[in-house]
Amino acid sequence: MFLKDKTVLVTGGTGSFGKEFIRKLLKDDLIKQIVVFSRDELKQYEMNDVLNSSKVKYILGDVRDFASVLQVTKNVDVVVHAAAMKQIPAAEKNPMEAIKTNVLGAENIVKCSIENEVQRVIALSTDKAANPANLYGATKLCSDKLMIAGNGLTDFRKTKFSVVRYGNVLGSRGSVIPFFKNRIKDGFIPITDERMTRFWLTLETGVQFVLDSLERMSGGEIFVPKIPSFKVTDVARIVAPNTPFRIIGIRPGEKLHEIMITADDSPYTFENSSYYAIYAPEVLDSNSNVVLGTKVKDGFEFNSNNNPYWHTDKSFIDTLKSCGLLA
């Protein structure tokens, strides 16, 4: 295992992903040390109270602050960059705040990781970064580009950068599941469009995919898992079975269907058994043997509507039960 005896820095480590990722590392008990880097002292205190592990070190700071990022990346082997401003409405109303965190923060991670000779950096992205329709998606697209371009700054040698991109995480903060449950008391479930589809995966699946991607990354890849789609109306029907829908219309910046891989990226995309990888053109131009999988057809697009992998009612119910979201 690549992470054996390594020191791992997790930015935004007190978020939903960070907590589950760190629990997994502690459970496997192979890691040397985990550094949690975030700006909320209360969340760090609460997390430390729950985990109570000598292997976890907590450092207050902000990815927007170059000096603190430079300091925290010293003597670190791996960076998992999960810190981001993620709320779409908040990003629309406070655009410079989103840019500072998601774009300039990513730039700081790249520069400081190179300066301190971090071995591998993997950044968490979002489906919203593919053909972005809102500022949050646009900033995450910029972040993805900065990460992949970071490989060129090191000539794909000492520090390697890759990205993981996936869709809605069941049970994470901001998940639609608790939102639908809370709306039952109103007597109706608000649905923006009855045709809407989304990709769905569990937090545990997302964590494992990041771990797997850390193992196989060579630098310059955007990894996209093959995860099932499901209509939003079907989600609401299962979560709130006796509550009627009310169609309220698509909100600004919202898409009818999620896109993970655009047709424009098809020349650089390769398919494997459980995931796709979008490679930086420089990787493909080098005729490198690190390219894994079978090239997809030109014009291929991976979105939640044309996805060959779909949840059934039973599989979605079983998934919700497995992560404690349905009795």
Predicted local distance difference test score (pLDDT) of residue 132: 93
CA torsion 194→196→199→203, rounded to 10°?
-60
Per the model's pLDDT, the better-predicted residue between 233 and 290 turns out to be 233
Task: Output the pLDDT for position 285.
Answer: 84
Per-residue pLDDT, 54: 94
CA–CA dist 117, 201 (Å, integer): 33
**Rounded mean pLDDT, 135-143:** 97
With beta carbons less than 8 A apart as the criterion, state whether 159 and 148 touch. Answer: no
Q: What is the DSSP letter of 101?
A: I
Whether the per-residue pLDDT at 156 is higher than 70: the answer is: no
Is pLDDT above 90 for 252? no
Q: Is the pLDDT of residue 174 over 80?
A: no
> Taking the model in full, what pTM does it have?
0.94
Confidence of residue 314 (pLDDT cuts 50, 70, 90): very high
Q: Which helix (H) or strand (E) holds 33?
A: strand 33-38
CA distance 246 to 236: 11
Mean pLDDT of the chain: 93
Asked if 67 and 61 count as a contact pair (C-beta separation under 8 A), the reply is no
Q: What was the pLDDT predicted at 123?
A: 98
Residue with tokens 């996805």: 307
DSSP 119: S
**Mean predicted confidence (pLDDT) in 77-92:** 94
pLDDT of residue 63: 98
Q: For domain 7-167+202-227+260-303, give the fold.
A: Rossmann fold (3.40.50)
| Range 65-69 average pLDDT | 98
Res 287: pLDDT: 66
Mean pLDDT in residue range 196-204:
93
What pLDDT shows up at residue 150? 95
Distance CA 122, CA 323 (A): 25
Residue 236 reports pLDDT greater than 70: yes
Catalytic residue among 86, 128, 160, 255: 128
- Examine the residue annotation and report whether 93 is marked as an active-site residue of this protein: no
- Tens of pLDDT, residue by residue over 260-306, are 999 999 999 999 999 999 999 988 887 667 888 999 999 999 999 99
